[in-house]
A and B are shown apart, each in its own frame.
Chain A
């Protein structure tokens, strides 16, 4: 077997970004949640907001730190493995990318420090302000990185000069056709992911009879947010799909598992795609439903992949299955949230042990959905890095051999398999400690002792346990 530097570079990219994306998927939502909690504490002065906020801020500190550390890797990937893409497209995408990095950099250097260590050093309003700015910063970061990604999916506002992309209109570049849909769909997904984690942690605390008041508040807040956001996400997903149909019809055909153009188009529920033969094996189909969902008419036509030359078709398997996993998770989430609301209306939420257990199991579902959705959109836009213009195969660094990339991939796998499980275990131990009154009375000099991430820890440990 010969090692293909293009395939291996794609795997490496997938590996480092799949782990990295889990952290923003969590921290973007968590930052906003903490800002809300801090706002409530500032306005009401009630201890419960303080305890919940402190609890999640400790976890936020670890996940944000891991996000920054794994984020340092990302911009260098453009140079190490995708230097041809960099040379061609940097004039357009690099400022967008840099703004994302600068935002994270800026946050790390400024408001995050106040949020984490400044509780006793600054007035309450300033602490709330810092929390709000961190939340705003994470949203800005999402804005820039999704603008970058969206431009690669639906490029516009540029001209080609000697095989390189040159910016012509920055507004058109940033607000490219898929950007608004991708931004809303993603940020909403991040919020849902976080809310499910908050709900799962609340349920876990409740089942152990720990910090009951705080845990109930977490669950209630998460449920009330999710009953709005999950249906909204289904609507946004549908809109995003229609946008894909308009601008990336080949991706949509892959998602639908559609090789042949048929009118009216059925909906393929399931099947085994075979790219070589360009057919869907053992397909289970519902007549007309494809047309109805995608064109919002009974007999609209969806183009099949055979409309494109073979070298311009994406592989069908990953987008086809990724999409079904994402939608499946969405349906499960909707059921969980409706069940929770019904129980709450009947006043039986806290006694329903089965539901609390269900919340624990579904806590990580958001992460799975984010990864599945990301695979759908990224494999679906193949074989292009800049859609329709620059091929993935023409983007890779020319000096790399397959063996080079195989080695680097092995190193990334080893280090990430040490780092991420340890970090997750670290956060799990913070969850087990639960919300605490203790840090409220922590002595000032302990907080100031100058160990990042340690002050919270040592302060909580040094203070008398309740």
Chain B
């Protein structure tokens, strides 16, 4: 083999997934919270806070999906059929949400219905993504190179609980995004909502941290054997500190810090899951290297990715810059 590209593709894919979770996470969160906001102006403000960016965020799902397919096709071929219905729910919810977003401008008379579709779509997509994540951590029945369980294996307490947890997780991202992008009463409301979501998220993080090592001896060994327990102890400590900081930031009415704190909490959870599962990509069956495509396949796509990704990121940064400042219910930004 000329050069091992698996580590690089692992980083790229990890980055794409994390980027997607944070960025589409906050706009899915805002979409869910929208149904709780009262008043036309406040609702318009909430919508405008994500309007310029949400579809760009969603396209990262394509990059994540295609990246997994190309770099680790065996994982794609085992994981995706195992979560057949959650994926179906997620895709249809995202379609509905995307279309609802456009059409609500077009048909003021039907706006209530499209608004419902937008919120419902956000909720279902979020829950389904949580179920996919929960199923991944739970592990799959595998026979040879195939998923050998049934299409309803995801219908178990743990994946469903993760689905619920992610609703609060994206809710936290969405609420803190609103704290950042709004002012006055709406901001106060967003701050209270963020606090509730934060409590639920912390309970979920604690729950997963207890449940996973209990259910999977490998995970327990990873965290609690010597010297790992010493080396990895900063992970829970830093997470606890971030949680504390997040609480304080919300209480002291910071504007941007709560959103950054929420992103940091997601990052720590992401790191925690990665440590638990490493080096598996089909948990407890196939490692990243076993599931990888040929070096030639990985190299072929890498060329274009390394060229296009920086341009996309620069453009994205620029568009967030253009739409900086507080969102308003009428007219535009600034």
Contacts and interface: CB of A to CB of B under 8 A. Distances in A.
B88 A411 contact: yes
Contacts of B70: 90, 94-95, 97-98
Given A90-B77, A91-B297, A73 B95 contact: yes
A456 B107 CA distance: 15
Given A79-B69, A98-B304, 14 more contacts: A72-B59, A73-B95, A75-B62, A91-B73, A92-B297, A95-B300, A98-B70, A106-B311, A109-B315, A110-B312, A166-B294, A399-B82, A399-B149, A426-B103
A232 interface: no
Contacts of A83: 76-78, 80-81, 146-147
A65 B100 CA distance: 12
A446 B294 CA distance: 51
20 contacts: A68-B55, A70-B95, A72-B91, A75-B69, A80-B88, A84-B146, A90-B69, A90-B76, A90-B297, A95-B70, A167-B296, A398-B81, A398-B148, A399-B82, A399-B150, A401-B150, A422-B99, A423-B99, A426-B102, A450-B322
A404 B153 CA distance: 13
A62 to B, nearest CB: 7
B332 interface: yes
Interface residues of B, number: 65
B63 interface: yes
Contacts of B322: 448, 450
Contact of A454 (B51, B61, B77): B51
4 shortest interchain CB distances as A-B pairs? A79-B80, A449-B332, A90-B73, A397-B81
Interface in A69-123: 69-73, 75-76, 78-81, 83-84, 86-87, 90-92, 94-95, 97-99, 101-102, 104-106, 108-110, 113
Given A102-B66, A419-B95, A452-B52, A95 B297 contact: yes
B96 interface: yes
B290 interface: no
B79 interface: yes
Interface in B53-106: 55-56, 58-59, 61-63, 65-67, 69-70, 73-74, 76-82, 84-85, 87-88, 91-92, 94-96, 98-99, 102-103, 105-106
Contacts, number: 213
A394 B146 CA distance: 13
A102 B70 CA distance: 12
> How extensive is the interface on chain A, given as a class?
35 or more
Interface of B: 48, 51-52, 55-56, 58-59, 61-63, 65-67, 69-70, 73-74, 76-82, 84-85, 87-88, 91-92, 94-96, 98-99, 102-103, 105-106, 145-151, 293-294, 296-297, 300-301, 304-305, 308, 311-312, 315-316, 319, 322-323, 331-333
A69 B311 CA distance: 22
Contact of B59 (A79, A105, A412): A105
B45 to A, nearest CB: 12
A260 interface: no
A68 B146 contact: no
B106 A426 contact: yes
A310 to B, nearest CB: 28
B301 to A, nearest CB: 4
Contact of B77 (A84, A97, A109): A84
Contacts of B150: 399, 401
A404 to B, nearest CB: 5
A80 B59 CA distance: 19
Interface in A410-454: 411-412, 415, 418-419, 422-423, 426, 429, 445-446, 448-454
A457 interface: yes
Contacts of A65: 55, 98, 102
B61 A72 contact: yes
A343 interface: no
The secondary structure that dominates the A interface is helix
Nearest to A167: B296
Contact of B332 (A69, A418, A450): A450
Nearest to A420: B99
B92 A451 contact: no
A170 interface: yes
Contact of B76 (A78, A109, A411, A450): A78
A360 B56 CA distance: 36
Contact of A108 (B48, B56, B332): B56
A398 B146 contact: yes
Contacts of A446: 332
Nearest to B81: A397
Contacts of A104: 59, 62
Contacts of A108: 55-56, 59
A423 B84 CA distance: 27
A445 B332 CA distance: 7
B292 to A, nearest CB: 10
A439 to B, nearest CB: 16
A261 interface: no
A253 to B, nearest CB: 33
A166 B294 CA distance: 7
B77 A451 contact: no
A227 B148 CA distance: 56
A66 interface: yes
Contact of B73 (A86, A400, A412): A86
A408 interface: yes
Contact of B304 (A87, A102, A170, A419): A102
